[in-house]
Amino acid sequence: MDQIRTGELIRLLRTERGLTQRQLAEQLCVSDKAVSKWECGCGCPDVSLLTVLADVLGTDVQVLLSGEIDKNESEKGNMKKMNFFVCPHCGNIITAASNASVSCCGTKLSPCQPRVAAPSEMLSVQDIGGEWLISSGHEMSKEHFISFVAYVSDSSFMLFKQYPEWGININLPMYRSGKLVWFCNKCGLLCQDIRPERK
């Protein structure tokens, strides 16, 4: 932890929330002099305070430790650049429309890297009169299963949670084109293009 950078960040986040040093100190059960020391870079918060401090300041512990906020450029946040994060501990699924710092169960997560599905791995897509029926013969046991299927286009995103021992049968409104993305607990993140047939 760089005390000076972390201190400057604490001051920035505190003032953005309209808090005085004393108000922040009261929420953390410390003195306002302690907060002043942190912000001047003459000390740093005790490790036991970091989670509460991050919550009060509306950030996370990793940001406090690094001393800087990575701001995404607004034009980067579009659906085509959707990132999928899957927690290896609890199976939580987290998405972000651009680069993000994501953690779950105390672990910093990296975005899953999708690979194009081989023909034998592809999901079945059938036109059923204005809708797509998405299905799969993929094993759905507790040991080997697809945990989610998502539809992503340039302006839309839909995620369908799947469960072991359930079959995959998803009805999806038919859009002009897009991509199916799904996560297998053994094979990782896979994808395939999807588009209506031209008549």
Asked if 3-66 and 115-194 have one fold, the answer is: no
Nearest to 91 by CA among 21, 22, 146: 146
User: Is residue 119 scored above 70 in pLDDT?
Assistant: yes
The per-residue pLDDT for range 28-48, each reduced to its tens digit, is: 999 999 999 988 888 888 888
For 148, residues 6+ apart whose C-beta sits below 8 A from its C-beta are: 93, 159, 160, 161, 162, 182, 183
Helix then strand then coil, in percent of the chain rounded to 5, is 25, 30, 45
Q: What was the pLDDT predicted at 70?
A: 60
Q: Give me the amino acid identity at 139.
A: E
Predicted confidence band at 123 (pLDDT cuts at 50, 70, 90)?
Answer: very high
- Render the burial of 97-107: b for 16+ CB within 10 Å, e for the rest: beeeebebeee
User: Is residue 74 scored above 60 in pLDDT?
Assistant: no
How far apart are alpha carbons 83 and 47 in whole angstroms?
31
Q: What was the pLDDT predicted at 130?
A: 82
How far apart are alpha carbons 80 and 16 in whole angstroms?
32
For 191, residues 6+ apart whose C-beta sits below 8 A from its C-beta are: 114, 115, 116, 117, 179, 180, 181, 182
Domain 115-194 architecture: Sandwich (2.60)
User: Is residue 135 scored above 80 in pLDDT?
Assistant: yes
How far apart are alpha carbons 15 and 21 in whole angstroms?
9
User: Is residue 145 scored above 70 in pLDDT?
Assistant: yes
65 and 6 Cβ atoms separated by less than 8 Å: yes
Q: Which fold would CATH assign to domain 3-66? A: 434 Repressor (Amino-terminal Domain) (1.10.260)
Domains of the chain, residue spans: 3-66, 74-109, 115-194
